Chains A and B, each alone.
Chain A
Amino acid sequence: MTTTPTTTQATTPQATNARQAPDLLGELGLGLKRGVNLFRHVLGIDRAEIGVTPKEAVWSRGKSVLYRYRSDRRTVRQPVLLVMSLVSRADIMDLQPGNSFVEHLLDQGLDVFLLDWGAPDELDAGNTLETYVDDHLPDAVAMADGLAGGHGVTVFGYCFGGLLALLYAAGHPDDPIANLVVMATPVDFTEMPPAMSGVGGDGIDPDHLLDETGNVPARTVRAGFSLLTPTADLATYADFWERLDDDRFLESYRAMTAWTRNHVPFPGAAFKQTARMFGEGNGFINDDLVLGGRAVHLRDITVPFLTVLAERDHIVPAEASLPLVDLVGSQDRTEMKLPAGHVGLIVGRGGRTRCMPAMSGWIIDHSDGATAG
């Protein structure tokens, strides 16, 4: 016969207190840490430093600046020129050390340039798409190409930057473009969320969104993004409160919020043109785009081409980018669908382990391996 031992150990009040004391101390320590972190956050003591990879300005026009990242390990002949959206800060490409797309590209031996459009003011309210596509971009590409030895440039556009890169490559087929990569770039605007496509036509009059500078203010741009996921801000605050004692999380949180809450105004003339050509006209799909007085066709893009789609993109749904691969004229064209969100393609663990290597791998496969100057 077996007997089940029952716990009959006597627990004295002293023993209970001895066990609870470390728990209490731990709780107190955690509470204190949360309090200190909250205090530092509210006072803005721990500001995130973003976009810190060393770089130098090599060209500028108006607010646009072309940067070249410093590197002593360039092994690929063709440089990569990153082209940003007009409404987001370029820092997302180089968020923080260890979590940076630029850093990853440099580690792969690439020569990296970044075209930062800057923050527009009254001076830029009249900037049209032609200003960027036919004026700034061709000169920036020529400058990057010249500095890197004249072997052509891999133009890499992100989101609206991809749209600008498409217009540029289609309108300037003789420019020194070695490859064209666009990431999370919409072409079918009927598939875009209404908060992105609801301007113009029967929707909001584009003129009504301009402020006294003639541009769409940054707060309106941010509100547009917030409308896509109305509870996202609250969820972000909940994450922050829950993980207030996690220093690594707080570091990433500060870096991301420093970027997401810091949009730039949309130049008024370019905004109205975008609403007309794409929001109302769906110009890429209808193939009726006219820029600078001449027709622009995506089929005129013949360089090796990569379009990257994010499966969980809530800003540019994959459906909005899907037709693109069939619209360009390139013989060598690839569509890459990656398991990420709009920003997760180049930020975070998934970006680092899956997305960035896939994209840089394609670029290196389509470049020459000799060392550049």
Chain B
Amino acid sequence: MAEPAWRRAFNAWEKSTAPALEDLTASTGFRDLLAAGVRWNNAIAEQVERTSRQWLHLWNLPAATDVRRLREQVARLQTEIGELRVATRQTGAPPTLTVIDGGGEGHDHPPAANG
């Protein structure tokens, strides 16, 4: 079946534009621009976050950074518990800790786990 006219036009446009766009995104100038954009974006996000945190703390409310810090602490604790569990298994003592899965796409831990 013949290609419709709009598709032929699109293909012609893509054929002429794609190489130039690919060269542009592969250029050092584009990379520098992207790096500057990322820095700029982060600086703004940091400023907004600082201001909103100060405002929320003024009302004794937790900010996203507080929740993040708590999540990080929980993550660290979970890692330590995991390491303890492995160490306990290696020394032969019966494991007495139950690990709470960290959310996301949690998986069951079959008995044969960790070989």
User: Across the interface, which residues of B come within 8 angstroms of A43, CB to CB?
Assistant: none
Report the bound CA distance from A214 to B108 in whole Å.
25
Are A194 and B26 in contact, with the CB atoms below 8 A?
Answer: yes
Which of A107-115, A202-210, A284-292, A322-330 is found at the contact surface with chain B? A202-210
User: Across the interface, which residues of B come within 8 angstroms of A118, CB to CB?
Assistant: 104-105, 107
Are A59 and B31 in contact, with the CB atoms below 8 A?
Answer: no
- A-contact 0/1 string along B81-115, CB 8 Å cutoff: 01000000000000000000011110111101111
Report the bound CA distance from A59 to B112 in whole Å.
6
* Min CB gap A225→B, angstroms: 11
Contact of B22 among A142, A203, A230 (CB under 8 A): A230
User: Across the interface, which residues of B come within 8 angstroms of A204, CB to CB?
Assistant: 31, 34-35, 38
Number of chain A residues whose Cβ lies closer than 8 Å to a Cβ of chain B: 39
Report the bound CA distance from A63 to B82 in whole Å.
12
Closest to B71 in A: A122
Report the bound CA distance from A227 to B34 in whole Å.
11
Closest to A210 in B: B42
* Min CB gap A219→B, angstroms: 13
- B-contact 0/1 string along A36-68, CB 8 Å cutoff: 000000000000000000000111111101000
User: Across the interface, which residues of A come within 8 angstroms of B27, CB to CB?
Assistant: 194
Tell me how many residue pairs across A and B have CB atoms closer than 8 Å: 100
Q: A123-B102, A139-B114, A194-B27 are in contact. Are A60 and B38 (CB under 8 A)?
A: no
Report the bound CA distance from A48 to B78 in whole Å.
35
Are B114 and A126 in contact, with the CB atoms below 8 A?
Answer: no
User: Across the interface, which residues of A come within 8 angstroms of B24, CB to CB?
Assistant: 230
Are B22 and A229 in contact, with the CB atoms below 8 A?
Answer: yes
* Min CB gap B21→A, angstroms: 4
User: Across the interface, which residues of B come within 8 angstroms of A234, CB to CB?
Assistant: 10, 14
Report the bound CA distance from A324 to B16 in whole Å.
35
User: Across the interface, which residues of A come within 8 angstroms of B113, CB to CB?
Assistant: 59-61
Residues of B within 8 A of A (CB): 3-4, 7, 10, 14, 17-18, 21-22, 24-28, 30-31, 34-35, 38-39, 42, 64, 68, 71-72, 74-75, 78-79, 82, 102-105, 107-110, 112-115
5 A-B pairs with least C-beta separation: A123-B75, A230-B21, A204-B35, A122-B75, A198-B31
User: Across the interface, which residues of A come within 8 angstroms of B108, CB to CB?
Assistant: 57, 60
Are B104 and A119 in contact, with the CB atoms below 8 A?
Answer: yes
Residues of A within 8 A of B (CB): 57-63, 65, 118-119, 121-123, 125-126, 139, 142-143, 146, 193-195, 198, 203-205, 208-209, 212, 214, 227-231, 234-235, 238, 242
User: Across the interface, which residues of A come within 8 angstroms of B114, CB to CB?
Assistant: 59, 61, 139
Closest to B68 in A: A212
User: Across the interface, which residues of A come within 8 angstroms of B10, CB to CB?
Assistant: 234-235, 238
Report the bound CA distance from A193 to B14 in whole Å.
20
Are A208 and B42 in contact, with the CB atoms below 8 A?
Answer: yes
Closest to B82 in A: A62
Which label, helix, strand, loop or mixed, suits the secondary structure of the B interface?
Answer: helix
Other CB < 8 Å A-B pairs besides A59-B115, A194-B28, 13 of them?
A: A59-B110, A59-B112, A60-B110, A122-B71, A122-B74, A125-B75, A205-B38, A208-B42, A212-B64, A228-B22, A231-B21, A238-B10, A242-B4
Closest to A264 in B: B105
Are A195 and B75 in contact, with the CB atoms below 8 A?
Answer: no
Are A208 and B39 in contact, with the CB atoms below 8 A?
Answer: yes
* Min CB gap B48→A, angstroms: 13
Report the bound CA distance from A118 to B102 in whole Å.
13
Question: Could you give 27 example pairs across A and B, Cβ below 8 Å?
Answer: A57-B107, A57-B108, A57-B110, A59-B114, A60-B113, A61-B113, A62-B82, A118-B105, A121-B102, A122-B71, A123-B78, A139-B114, A193-B26, A194-B26, A194-B27, A194-B28, A195-B25, A198-B34, A205-B39, A208-B35, A208-B42, A212-B64, A231-B14, A231-B17, A231-B18, A238-B10, A242-B7
User: Across the interface, which residues of B come within 8 angstroms of A57, CB to CB?
Assistant: 107-108, 110
Report the bound CA distance from A61 to B21 in whole Å.
42
Report the bound CA distance from A259 to B52 in whole Å.
37
Report the bound CA distance from A63 to B102 in whole Å.
9
* Min CB gap B15→A, angstroms: 10
Closest to B37 in A: A204
Closest to A203 in B: B31
